[in-house]
Amino acid sequence: MNTPDVPRDGGPERVAPPPGAYRIVGGGVLRGNNHLVEARDVRKSFGQTLALRGATVAAAQGEILAIMGPSGSGKSTLLHCLAGIFRPDSGEVWFERTRLDVRSEAERTRLRRTAFGFVFQFGQLVPELTVADNVALPLLLNRADRKSAYAAAATWLDRLGLSGKGKRRTGELSGGEAQRVAVARALALQPKVIFADEPTGSLDTLTGEKVMDLLTGLAREQGSTVVLITHDARVAAYADRVVMVRDGIVSADLGAAASPAKAIPL
Amino acid sequence: MPLTLLGLLEREPSHGYDLKRDYDAYFGRGKQLPFGQVYATLGRLARDGKVTAGDAEPGEGPDRKRYAITKVGRAEVDSWLAEPVEPEPHLQTVLFAKVTLALMLGKPAESYLTAQRAAHMRRMQELTRLKRAGGLVDVLLADHGLFHLEADLRWIDTTSARLTELRTLVNREDSSR
Q: What number of helices (H) and strands (E) belong to chain A?
A: 7, 10
Identity of the residue numbered A250: V
> Would the pLDDT of A252 be above 90?
no
Q: Which residue has the higher pLDDT, A115 or B174?
A: A115
Q: Dump pLDDT digits (tens) for B20-45.
A: 988 888 887 667 888 888 888 999 99
Q: Which residues of chain B have pLDDT under 70?
A: 29-30, 58-63, 88-92, 173-177
- Whether B122 and chain A come into contact, CB under 8 Å, resolves to yes
CA distance B136 to chain A (A): 13
Closest listed residue to residue B139, CA positions, set A231, A241, A199, A206: A206
3-state secondary structure of B64: coil
Q: Find out whether B14 and B73 touch, Cβ atoms under 8 Å.
A: no
pLDDT at A107: 93
A214: which chain B residues are within 8 Å (Cβ-Cβ)? none
- Separation between Cα atoms, residue A240 and residue B171, nearest integer Å: 40
> Would the pLDDT of A185 be above 70?
yes
Q: Find out whether A65 and A228 touch, Cβ atoms under 8 Å.
A: yes
pLDDT at A259: 53
For residue B159, how many other CB atoms are within 10 A of its CB?
19
- Whether B146 and chain A come into contact, CB under 8 Å, resolves to yes
> Would the pLDDT of A124 be above 50?
yes
A265: which chain B residues are within 8 Å (Cβ-Cβ)? 88, 141, 145
B129 and A239 within 8 Å at the Cβ level: the answer is no
Closest listed residue to residue B10, CA positions, set B62, B78, B56, B92: B78
Closest chain B CA to residue A254 = B118
Cα–Cα distances (Å) from B94 to A179, B49, B73, in that order, read 41, 23, 18
Closest listed residue to residue A104, CA positions, set A239, A8, A173: A8
B126: which chain A residues are within 8 Å (Cβ-Cβ)? 257-259, 261-262
pLDDT at B62: 60
pLDDT at A80: 95
Q: Does pTM top 0.80 for this prediction?
A: no
CA distance B137 to chain A (A): 10
CA distance A65 to chain B (A): 12
- Whether B115 and chain A come into contact, CB under 8 Å, resolves to no
- Whether B111 and chain A come into contact, CB under 8 Å, resolves to no
Q: What number of helices (H) and strands (E) belong to chain B?
A: 8, 3
Q: Which band of pLDDT confidence, cut at 50, 70 and 90, is reported for residue A15?
A: very low
Q: Which band of pLDDT confidence, cut at 50, 70 and 90, is reported for residue A29?
A: very low
Candidate from A233, A244, A259 with C-beta closest to B124? A233
Phi, psi of A31 (to 5 degrees): -100, -20
Q: Find out whether A62 and A10 touch, Cβ atoms under 8 Å.
A: no
Q: Dump pLDDT digits (tens) for A84-105.
A: 999 999 999 999 989 999 999 9
Q: Which band of pLDDT confidence, cut at 50, 70 and 90, is reported for residue A5?
A: very low
Q: What is the mean pLDDT of chain A?
A: 83
B1-80 CATH: 1.10.10.10
Phi, psi of B106 (to 5 degrees): 70, 30
CA distance A170 to chain B (A): 29
Cα–Cα distances (Å) from B8 to A34, A219, B3, B19, in that order, read 48, 51, 9, 7
Q: Dump pLDDT digits (tens) for A129-181.
A: 999 999 999 999 888 899 999 999 999 999 888 888 989 998 888 888 898 99
Q: Cα A222 to the chain's mean position, in Å?
A: 15
> Would the pLDDT of A244 be above 80?
yes
A242: which chain B residues are within 8 Å (Cβ-Cβ)? 121, 125
Pairing verdict, β A35-46 and A90-95: antiparallel
3-state secondary structure of B136: helix
